[in-house]
């Protein structure tokens, strides 16, 4: 599932088209296997992958809207929370927490830190990333 409040952004994402710069750090085998080269210098993700994603318009700070989505083991929420005020950030994080399975992980952008927003996730440090984990037992 992929979500955004902006329907134009969702339409662009559904197309799955990326510039050469966007795919430059991917291994060439991955690009060959999962992308097709377009004549205009762009790459498009293969139909099988694009069709496996449900694109949904969603306001992440609307608790009624987010209640419909549950059972996530992994959430990528990169460079979104930096645009919210403190209260909206807290609401968004609580909504994400509620949508996740116990033990699930959330990945934020490099300039974002969960510790400044809420203590409900556990910090997990990896060699090249810091991620946050929903505890196996409920905390709130």
Q: Which domains does the chain have, with CATH numbers?
A: 2-51 (no CATH), 60-133 (3.40.50.150)
- So what's the pLDDT on residue 138? 61
HEC string of the chain equals CEEECCHHHHHHHHHCEECHHHHCCCCHHHHHHHEEECCCCCEEECHHHHHCCCEEECCCCCHHHHCCCCCEEEEEECCCHHHCCHHHHHHHHHHHHHHEEEEEEEEECCCCCHHHCCCCCEEEEECCEEEEECCCCCCC
Question: What value does the mean pLDDT of the chain take?
Answer: 93
In DSSP terms, 126 is beta-bridged to 129
pTM of the model: 0.85
- So what's the pLDDT on residue 128? 86
Rounded to an integer, the average pLDDT of 17-41 is 95
Give the distance, in angstroms, between the CA of residue 55 and the centroid of all CA atoms in the same chain: 12
For residue 27, which phi and psi values (nearest 5 degrees)?
A: -60, 140
In DSSP terms, 132 is beta-bridged to 106, 123
pLDDT digit string, tens, across residues 76-124? 999 899 999 999 999 999 999 999 999 999 999 888 888 889 999 999 9
């Amino acid at each position: 599932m992929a979500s955004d409040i902006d329907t134009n952004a969702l339409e662009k994402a559904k197309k799955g088209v990326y510039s050469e710069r966007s795919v430059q750090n991917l291994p060439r085998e991955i690009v060959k296997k999962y992308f097709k080269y377009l004549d205009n210098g762009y790459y498009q993700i293969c139909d099988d992958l694009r069709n496996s994603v449900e694109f949904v318009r969603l306001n992440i700070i609307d608790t009624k809207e987010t209640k419909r989505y549950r059972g996530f083991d992994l959430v990528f929420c990169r460079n979104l929370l930096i645009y919210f005020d403190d209260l909206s950030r807290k609401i968004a994080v609580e909504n994400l927490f509620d949508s996740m399975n116990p033990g699930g992980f959330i990945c934020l952008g490099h300039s974002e830190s969960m510790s400044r927003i809420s203590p409900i996730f556990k910090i997990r440090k990896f060699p090249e990333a810091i991620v946050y984990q929903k505890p196996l037992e409920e905390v709130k």
